[in-house]
Amino acid sequence: MTTDSTSERTRAERYNPGDIESKWRARWEQDDLYRVADHVEGRPNRYHLTMFPYTSGDLHVGHWWAMAPSDTLARYFRMRGFNVLFPMGFDAFGLPAENAALKGGIHPKDWTDANVVRMRGQLRSMGASFDWGREVVSSHADYYRWTQWWFVQMFKRGLAYKKAAPANWCPSCNTTLANEQVKDGLCERCDTPVEQRFMAQWFFRTTDYAEELLDNEALDWPEHVKVMQRNWIGRSEGAEASFALEQPASDGTSEIRVFTTRPDTLHGVTFMVLAPEHPLVPLLTTPEQAEAVAAYQDRAAHATEIERLATDREKSGVFTGAYCINRLTGDRVPIWIADYVLATYGTGAVMAVPAHDERDFAFARRYGMPVKVVIAPPDWDGKPLTEAWTEPGTLVASKQFDGLPSTEAKKAIAAYLEQQGWGGTKVQYRLRDWLISRQRYWGAPIPIVACPDCGEVAVPEDQLPVELPYDVEFRPTGQSPLALSPEFVATTCPQCGKPAQRETDTMDTFMCSSWYFMRYVDPHNTTAPMSREAAAAWLPVAQYTGGSEHATMHLLYARFFYKVARDLGLVPGDEPFTRYYAQGQILGPDGRRMSKSRGNVVAPDDQVQKWGSDCFRGYLMFLGPWDQGGPYDVDGIVGVSRWLNRTWTVAVDPPTR
């Protein structure tokens, strides 16, 4: 070998990631290298998954930070002898598609489908070991047919119900939102203050599973995520007590039920407060108070939840003119409405004990209501309190319970209520049922037909999907766009065959993502969302990765779905994700959150173009702890590039001795 030919070859085979990576990607695809069979002799199954991306049209560095190390981990387990399932797909329904469509004048479906094509290409450039044969796109009819199937199962089991109730309403998104999608009174998606609207909506009975969802200690998840879920579910022990209405309401209602964590203070109730939206309010308000009550209700309807719950805001309220009776004392208790009580939380009614609650104390002061001490502070001289005593103590002015310490009195009074048929011990959760109706176009239609004779009837499973029509005016108006399509609405009742109307709300897109990981195990099944065999082969997910901002939304909903799937006999175990890992965040080179306005965005496409995918991924693997992330170091990637070049040179042109 002459010196000449050696240098010739070195030049020709210099490390050129663009050529090498595209050559091998094509070869992998041709060989179907990453197709995963459900069973491989001698290789135990292991399911690795990264949250599927929303079809925004652009894969950003955050996606790479979640997916590329996940791929490394999947490959690692493959090398250790496991048969690893590592699928990918797209979360494709939702508001951004509509908003982009409105801006760009393109149909949400066309926008979404084009983005899927683009992002699929970006994902392929990653060179990850995704099994593309199992791809799911949640807006495709062959997927949402099964999302609708899940709804029907929920409906059949009594886990889906329609109820007129005050709902969170985002005036900017023009739709209702689940409680989980309201963060500190703001819409989780657009940060607009959320209002309350009274509407008929579909709910899932997530609260039926509250106790089980609370039990997440054994999961191999980040502690803070488990704590967030437990706090969100918010179990509190206390008692329910009924107060008799002095005059039955005009619909015959004769009592108001309240939940309290302090049954030991029941003898100190001096007024009752209902949410302004409480359905009883118009039924028990006296004619003299009607005008004041209506005016107050109107003001409350226009206040945001933030305003209503602000702790520094002076509490206001209006007397309804009606009274109830504290059954324990026989006291006549005035019924007020106040906007700090929300109809969407608890029973929408609270008993007020000003002596032992700060908020009630302030309210009583303002409106001249009595303050009745029933828990004596230590060394209390019997004089009026200057502030609420909220600690436990010894009961006074509580009849047969006098002298008991608070802890004992709680139990004794709850037992007494139970014995009298006035209530009793109760566990209450902060968690509400999941509101899944959306008054928007780009989602899976709720598969329900409203028949004048039969009521709400589920669309039979063999008639699914209820297809989302393409030619619909999808601009948000506050009412469901599908309601504007007579062809969509008019149908016949599946039960009696008479003319009937389709439900026109679509489903929360969090429903699509609540079960996609189950579809990957059997994505082409046309008779079921997945077979029991495929589910048994792969589920639960051994290793799940994604952002912890999903702690009380997706990660909670998916657990709920999985428990329902278990109860349907479809899946093994009780939990969908045995181990969940929350990756951190990659910041801009300046150490700040990447944003277009700051001009510090690192685009993965550019990095791949410049350095190659292997180099970019190699750099990410060296960047720092996965659960933390950190600033993107433009110089750091140069080092990885040099290292790959050297490795290449050693491989193709080993130094001669």
Which residues form the interface with Zn ion (CB under 5 A)? 170, 172-173, 187, 189-190, 192, 451, 453-454, 493, 495-496
Instruction: Determine the Cα–Cα distance for residues 353 and 208; give it in Å rounded to an integer.
Output: 30
Instruction: Quote the least distance from Cβ 501 to Zn ion, whole Å.
Output: 11
Q: Dig out the tokens for 388 from the structure.
A: 């609420």
Instruction: Quote the least distance from Cβ 302 to Zn ion, whole Å.
Output: 17
Instruction: Quote the least distance from Cβ 404 to Zn ion, whole Å.
Output: 49
Q: Which amino acid is at 595?
A: S
Instruction: Quote the least distance from Cβ 145 to Zn ion, whole Å.
Output: 23
Instruction: Quote the least distance from Cβ 343 to Zn ion, whole Å.
Output: 20
Q: 539 with 561: CB under 8 angstroms?
A: no
Q: Which of 453, 574 has the CB closer to Zn ion?
A: 453
Beta 186-187 vs 195-204: how paired, if at all?
A: unpaired
Instruction: Quote the least distance from Cβ 498 to Zn ion, whole Å.
Output: 5
Instruction: Determine the Cα–Cα distance for residues 7 and 9; give it in Å rounded to an integer.
Output: 5
The closest of 500, 496, 499, 507 to 447, measured between CA atoms, is 507
Q: 355 with 375: CB under 8 angstroms?
A: yes
Q: Which of 187, 266 has the CB closer to Zn ion?
A: 187
Q: Which of 189, 235 has the CB closer to Zn ion?
A: 189
Instruction: Quote the least distance from Cβ 448 to Zn ion, whole Å.
Output: 12
Q: Which of 192, 578 has the CB closer to Zn ion?
A: 192
Instruction: Quote the least distance from Cβ 499 to Zn ion, whole Å.
Output: 9
Instruction: Quote the least distance from Cβ 12 to Zn ion, whole Å.
Output: 57
Instruction: Determine the Cα–Cα distance for residues 436 and 577; give it in Å rounded to an integer.
Output: 23
Q: Residue count of the chain, please give it.
A: 657
The closest of 188, 92, 98 to 553, measured between CA atoms, is 188
Residue 636 has phi, psi (to 5 degrees) of -60, -40
Q: Which of 99, 206 has the CB closer to Zn ion?
A: 99
The burial class, CB within 10 Å (0-12 / 13-18 / 19+), for 569 is: exposed
Q: Which of 497, 569 has the CB closer to Zn ion?
A: 497
The interaxial angle of helices 3-12 and 636-652, nearest 10 deg, is: 140
Q: Which of 186, 309 has the CB closer to Zn ion?
A: 186
Q: Which of 327, 554 has the CB closer to Zn ion?
A: 554
Q: Which of 94, 321 has the CB closer to Zn ion?
A: 94
Q: Which of 498, 592 has the CB closer to Zn ion?
A: 498
The set of residues, in sequence order, having a beta carbon less than 8 Å from that of 207 and lying 6+ positions away, is 429, 431, 432, 433
DSSP string, 5-24: HHHHHHHHTS--HHHHHHHH
Instruction: Determine the Cα–Cα distance for residues 239 and 236; give it in Å rounded to an integer.
Output: 10
Instruction: Determine the Cα–Cα distance for residues 12 and 29; give it in Å rounded to an integer.
Output: 26
CB neighbourhood size of 35 (10 A): 10
Q: 272 with 351: CB under 8 angstroms?
A: yes
Instruction: Quote the least distance from Cβ 186 to Zn ion, whole Å.
Output: 8
Instruction: Determine the Cα–Cα distance for residues 395 and 411; give it in Å rounded to an integer.
Output: 13
